[in-house]
Structure 1
Amino acid sequence: MTSKGAALTATTDEPCATHPPGELTLARLLQEQMLRDARASGPLDRVVTWCLPWEQAVEASSLAGVLVYAAATPPDPTVLAELCRRDPAAVLIAGTVSADRWTKVRDTCGRVPVVSLGEHIGFREIGRLVAELTLAHEAHVLRYGVTVHRVLAELLYRGAGMPALAHQLSRLSHCTVAILDARLRILAFAQPATGSLDQEELSRTLAEDPPALIDESLGGHGPAVGEATVGGDSATCVVAPIVLGGRHDGWVLLIEPATPHPHDLAQHRVVVEQAVTIVGTEMLRMRSISEAEERARGDFVHALLHGRFGNASDLEARAAHYDFPTSATYGVLVAEVDPPGTARGLSREATRLTPPSGPRPLAAAIGDVIAVVRPFDPPRRAAPDAANRIVADYAQTLEKDLGQRVGGPVRVAYGRPVRGAVRIADSYREARIALELRGQLGLEHACGFHDLRVFAALRDLADSEQGRTFADDLLAPLRSSGAGGGELERAVVAYLECGGNVNAAARRLHVHRNTMLYKLERASRVLHLDLRQAEHQFSLWLAYKLDLLARATAGVDRELRAT
């Protein structure tokens, strides 16, 4: 094979596509010394599994793979035609057969092969020969399968890995071998020293125009065999799916550069049949290791975000294992993904979609939120807000990439950059608060706690007893004013957000201007404040901001304590 291309085109008009190669066929049976003088007509590639005398065959319901032995007495044409409709492997005629009788029997049998045995071959000799050849084939396949399984199992036991398994499969078959994942990506590739198939070209072909034979293999009970064009040259492919516990993880693909001998093709099938179990077990082992590493990495990220390290030495020891710096500048981002429940599967992708320069970020799923910790070093002599701009740009890119990956809305927020790993928990808390505020305020784009300057400035006041008391005292009369309290509160908020413009507030609430004036008058009486005065407007605006920030902070703190 050359490396000009690797277009694979499966065909199914060869004998190997109609039955498994290597099984006993009528043609193989006629090669035996006993039957070399026999005369035969019809297709000789039919599989032979057993032999029955005429009397038993007439009563049998199924004759697939069965040789029907007829004595020298000419069989009844009507019975023979009925028997042939059950499609036996062949009809064997014992004794001397005249030309006229031969022609009549052949015409009656149609597509069913007819074999004239001669004078001295009885049913016992034919039955014994078929049994011996069938059992010999099964024993050979079993012995060879055990040998292949033992060789591959030794590699699996030593933990040699996927490349070593592919290399051993290539050595056993003297063919090119590719182990594919469920997305048809090449996990391991090996070929003999004389092979010249280009791996990249094969990978590109599998991605752009995979052969139909691969999909066809999913519906069978064994390896699928078909002709192919690889690099412009004819080849034979043997492919089988890797399925363990009902889960499909990929394929084992074997490529023979020429038309192989049936015996070699049978060995290729055995190699692939044994390989799928061993390779599937190795995939399961690698997946278990990867999941364990992912859980350990997630535990480390959780500890960073919640400040659960006992001392600096413990932090540095854990960070060194993940090659994570402890003295850099960090931006903590959180992403809320729809639909809920997909965060865990995307946490790893969050570190791959937008790989930054320098240390790679770490990510973990916390409930329905993905938390990303990105270490970076701001450029020297940078502007005071350079670190904020770096995190903001990364947040926008992350939101776009994750949105493309999930095909749905993704909301990203971030905390203010911090210096030193011990302060990551502070930035994470701010990121969660910013995400909560973004949802309540209906902001469309990624935002940071630093961007919400008003809330950043009021954070300490909102956490204080004095701030909570101020907000409660001012807003409580409005919220406890009966059934209309909710409408009055919405009217006051719209009025404040519109800068005291009654017409703009009325348009926002889709009410008449006079209705808006009436609601504001009622609210003034309930609050005992003149909402037309700027000082009272500011007091109410401040109370609403403090209340909004306090509710967002309380919700985040409850979640942080729960985790």
Structure 2
Amino acid sequence: MELAAPETSTPSHEPTSSDDPALSHEPTLARVLQERLFRDATITGDGARDRVVTWCLPWQQALSGEEDLDGVLVYARESDVEADQLAELRARRPVALVVAGGEPGTAQADRADAEAMPIITVGAHTDFRQVGRLVAELVLAHEAHVMRYGVRVHQALAELSYRGAGISALCHQMSRLSQCAVAVLDSDYQVLEFAQAGSVGESSTPSGEVLTARTMRELLRDDPPDLLDRALDGGRGPIVGAVEIAGNPFTCVVGAIVLGGRHDGWVVLVEPAARPHPHDVAQHRVVVEQAITIVGTEMLRMRSISEAEERARGDFVHALLHGRFATEADLAARAEHYRFPTGSDYAVIVAGGFRAASGGEPGNAVPNAVRDVARTSPPGTQTLAAAVGDVLAVVYRFDRPKRTTPDAANRFVADYARTLEQDLVRKLGVPVQVAYGRPVSGAVRITDSYREARIALGLRQQLGLDSVCGFHELRVFAALSELAGSPVGKGFADELLAPLREESTGGSDLERAVVTYIECGGNVNAAARALHIHRNTMLYKLERASRALRLNLREAEHQFALWLACKLELLANTTATVDRELRPT
């Protein structure tokens, strides 16, 4: 089955029947003039005859409006045509004016505008009904022909979509129908699928270089053609344009995939000829037009499946992190589904700071990071990632070499954590903070590593540490972790710090001065500079703190006691926050 072209080549001078679908070219002016009704017509003016004719209007109705008459053939009787009205009509750009009756001559030629509006003189017996019916028949024949081909293409693609064959099969089917290379791109200009033309119509450059997915990716990576953006902005179906690939000209038919107001990518059909036949271009337009909705629907279906799988995988990761498996058998059964061994060595790495970096809600940063981490794992390892609120949690499985010390295992995890932080910063474009827990053996103990990783992340954020840190690196906090949560540790911290926080003694301002003084090693001048206050003011604050505490802050033992109380409180608060998430009441 053939299809009419969007542009008409030089028309044959032989009259043809409009009932022959094989010859039903798009009804241009040249095509209309081939009909028997205009066989004896006289044409004045050399205006463009490749303009498309879509409708016919009588003279009075055409003059009554103000809209553009592009695509309209105007019919008039010789007695109706006035010179001033003719100039007004010409300004509205009709395809041509058909004048019935009268003899063509110099006066008629003077009326014609060679570039804007040819005048076609026919016999007085030719009425508007005949001309209007002819135009309508030609337009309907063309539309029906296009529709028949569109139904054929739609059926071929819809059958594959109904069977769930996937985008790759749809791409190859489009290539077989068009005998051209076809690519499906996502909204980020990435090639999702590429199908080369068959052996009959292989798409190759004049130099013999075959067009491949690699050349398409290089083109999109270096400088995506503006044809893609114009197809998206146009909103009027596929567009045709010339694109240079590997130094050779190609003709591309591009359609933007937009469903429900969401842009998911493009369908690109690459015709190897720099100036293809208009009939071929028309066929390619129909193929792309029909494919847009079907490929978009398939992308939606695959995205729904992928999101469902991600949610199920995320539930499994959450269960690992929070220890929600009833038995080890339950854990083993779920892990087998994801091909996740339960007897290896594991460590949990967490990344935070997305909210602060984005200036508000983390948005899609964490989900995007989950997908990126899931797709990339070092050789010989396996990762599972999930979003826990605004924190990214990664379960990192690795094979610990025999006779490996705990420090060596920690370094192994630290290397991956640093690489992960660098990748996240590069891909997301925002600074993130990464911390990790100590390695554990057995999947049932993953929750212990996760708890340590969250504590390490909280401490890193509180202390303002610049680099990746592990729980084992915070040696003081690791040693104090049990004491911080005990009644003894909490009582010790409250007893020492409470006097500094009373309103009568100055509140948090006094506490900050004491903590800064201790962190500066008891150096009054350094503490004053850190707080941007005068040295005498610093001495006054320390004197007030000493009276409130009934301790001499110049003694190292008392400084250590206050430092220990601050660390215990910080660790207790961080641990309590993590435990509330791990063990909600």
Query: Greater relative contact order (Cα 8 A, min sep 6): structure 1 or 2?
Result: 1
Which residue number corresponds to residue 341 of structure 1? 362
C-alpha separation in 1, matches of 2:249 and 2:549: 89
C-alpha separation in 2, matches of 1:487 and 1:69: 92
Which residue number corresponds to residue 8 of structure 1? none
Which residue number corresponds to residue 245 of structure 1? 260
Match of 2:523 among 493, 501, 519: 501
The answer to which of 313-322 and 92-101 deviates more is 92-101
Which residue number corresponds to residue 122 of structure 2? 117
Instruction: Assess, with a 3 A threshold, how the Cα gap between structure 1 residues 138 and 481 changes in structure 2: closer, same or farther.
Output: closer
Shift of residue 302, structure 1, vs aligned partner:
0.5
Query: Is 1:368–2:398 an aligned residue pair?
Result: no
Q: Secondary structure at the match of 1:302?
A: helix
Instruction: Assess, with a 3 A threshold, how the Cα gap between structure 1 residues 201 and 553 changes in structure 2: closer, same or farther.
Output: same
Instruction: Assess, with a 3 A threshold, how the Cα gap between structure 1 residues 527 and 353 changes in structure 2: closer, same or farther.
Output: farther
Q: How does 1:365-404 map to 2 (within 5 A)?
A: 365-404=387-426
Question: Which residue identity does 1:79 align to in structure 2?
Answer: Q
Instruction: Assess, with a 3 A threshold, how the Cα gap between structure 1 residues 229 and 38 changes in structure 2: closer, same or farther.
Output: farther
Shift of residue 325, structure 1, vs aligned partner:
1.9
Q: Secondary structure at the match of 1:385?
A: helix
Query: Is 1:208–2:222 an aligned residue pair?
Result: yes
Match of 1:79 among 77, 85, 102: 85
Which residue number corresponds to residue 298 of structure 1? 314
C-alpha separation in 2, matches of 1:234 and 1:384: 61
Q: Secondary structure at the match of 1:482?
A: helix
Q: Secondary structure at the match of 1:64?
A: coil
Identity of aligned residues (%): 62
Instruction: Assess, with a 3 A threshold, how the Cα gap between structure 1 residues 421 and 254 changes in structure 2: closer, same or farther.
Output: same
Q: Secondary structure at the match of 1:273?
A: helix
Shift of residue 341, structure 1, vs aligned partner:
1.9
The answer to which of 87-96 and 324-333 deviates more is 87-96
Q: How does 1:142-153 map to 2 (within 5 A)?
A: 142-153=147-158
C-alpha separation in 2, matches of 1:298 and 1:92: 71
Contact 1:359–1:376 under 8 Å retained in 2: yes
C-alpha separation in 2, matches of 1:488 and 1:518: 10
Which residue number corresponds to residue 459 of structure 1? 481
Where in structure 2 are there 5+ consecutive unaligned residues? 1-5, 9-23, 205-210
C-alpha separation in 1, matches of 2:487 and 2:279: 87
Match of 1:65 among 64, 68, 71: 71
Q: How does 1:61-210 map to 2 (within 5 A)?
A: 61-62=66-67, 63-73=69-79, 75-95=81-101, 97-107=103-113, 111-118=116-123, 121-190=126-195, 191-193=197-199, 194-195=201-202, 196=204, 197-210=211-224
The answer to which of 393-402 and 484-493 deviates more is 484-493
Question: Which residue identity does 2:237 align to in structure 1?
Answer: G
Instruction: Assess, with a 3 A threshold, how the Cα gap between structure 1 residues 122 and 235 changes in structure 2: closer, same or farther.
Output: farther
Equivalenced residues, count: 545
Query: Is 1:226–2:231 an aligned residue pair?
Result: no
Instruction: Assess, with a 3 A threshold, how the Cα gap between structure 1 residues 86 and 447 changes in structure 2: closer, same or farther.
Output: same
Shift of residue 371, structure 1, vs aligned partner:
0.7
Query: Is 1:254–2:269 an aligned residue pair?
Result: yes
Q: How does 1:273-288 map to 2 (within 5 A)?
A: 273-288=289-304
Question: Which residue identity does 2:219 align to in structure 1?
Answer: T
C-alpha separation in 2, matches of 1:538 and 1:231: 71
Contact 1:333–1:373 under 8 Å retained in 2: yes
Shift of residue 83, structure 1, vs aligned partner:
1.7
Contact 1:324–1:359 under 8 Å retained in 2: no
Which residue number corresponds to residue 19 of structure 2? none
C-alpha separation in 1, matches of 2:502 and 2:325: 45
Instruction: Assess, with a 3 A threshold, how the Cα gap between structure 1 residues 273 and 206 changes in structure 2: closer, same or farther.
Output: same
Shift of residue 60, structure 1, vs aligned partner:
4.0
C-alpha separation in 1, matches of 2:294 and 2:372: 32
Instruction: Assess, with a 3 A threshold, how the Cα gap between structure 1 residues 124 and 319 changes in structure 2: closer, same or farther.
Output: same
Instruction: Assess, with a 3 A threshold, how the Cα gap between structure 1 residues 388 and 233 changes in structure 2: closer, same or farther.
Output: closer
Match of 1:38 among 33, 37, 41: 41
C-alpha separation in 1, matches of 2:435 and 2:245: 50
Query: Is 1:434–2:434 an aligned residue pair?
Result: no
Contact 2:344–2:442 under 8 Å retained in 1: yes
Question: Which residue identity does 1:44 align to in structure 2?
Answer: R
C-alpha separation in 1, matches of 2:316 and 2:518: 45
Contact 2:370–2:392 under 8 Å retained in 1: no
TM-score by length of 1: 0.90
Instruction: Assess, with a 3 A threshold, how the Cα gap between structure 1 residues 136 and 355 changes in structure 2: closer, same or farther.
Output: same
Instruction: Assess, with a 3 A threshold, how the Cα gap between structure 1 residues 44 and 506 changes in structure 2: closer, same or farther.
Output: same
Shift of residue 547, structure 1, vs aligned partner:
1.6
C-alpha separation in 2, matches of 1:133 and 1:176: 32
The answer to which of 372-381 and 297-306 deviates more is 372-381
Q: Secondary structure at the match of 1:361?
A: strand
Instruction: Assess, with a 3 A threshold, how the Cα gap between structure 1 residues 39 and 198 changes in structure 2: closer, same or farther.
Output: farther
Contact 1:22–1:265 under 8 Å retained in 2: no
Contact 2:553–2:559 under 8 Å retained in 1: yes
Shift of residue 229, structure 1, vs aligned partner:
4.0
Which residue number corresponds to residue 272 of structure 1? 288
C-alpha separation in 2, matches of 1:420 and 1:189: 43
Q: Residue by residue, what CA displacement relative to the aligned partner does 1:225-245 show, whole Å, maximum 9, x if unpaired?
A: 223444555443211100000
Q: Secondary structure at the match of 1:358?
A: coil
Contact 1:502–1:513 under 8 Å retained in 2: yes
Instruction: Assess, with a 3 A threshold, how the Cα gap between structure 1 residues 507 and 150 changes in structure 2: closer, same or farther.
Output: same
Shift of residue 523, structure 1, vs aligned partner:
2.1
Where in structure 1 are there 5+ consecutive unaligned residues? 1-13
Shift of residue 372, structure 1, vs aligned partner:
1.0
TM-score by length of 2: 0.87
C-alpha separation in 2, matches of 1:74 and 1:485: 98
Shift of residue 246, structure 1, vs aligned partner:
0.1
Shift of residue 22, structure 1, vs aligned partner:
5.7
Shift of residue 521, structure 1, vs aligned partner:
2.8
Instruction: Assess, with a 3 A threshold, how the Cα gap between structure 1 residues 124 and 507 changes in structure 2: closer, same or farther.
Output: closer
Shift of residue 204, structure 1, vs aligned partner:
1.0
Contact 1:353–1:398 under 8 Å retained in 2: no
Q: Secondary structure at the match of 2:583?
A: helix
Q: Residue by residue, what CA displacement relative to the aligned partner does 1:24-58 show, whole Å, maximum 9, x if unpaired?
A: 21011122233344343311011212223334333
Contact 2:505–2:544 under 8 Å retained in 1: no
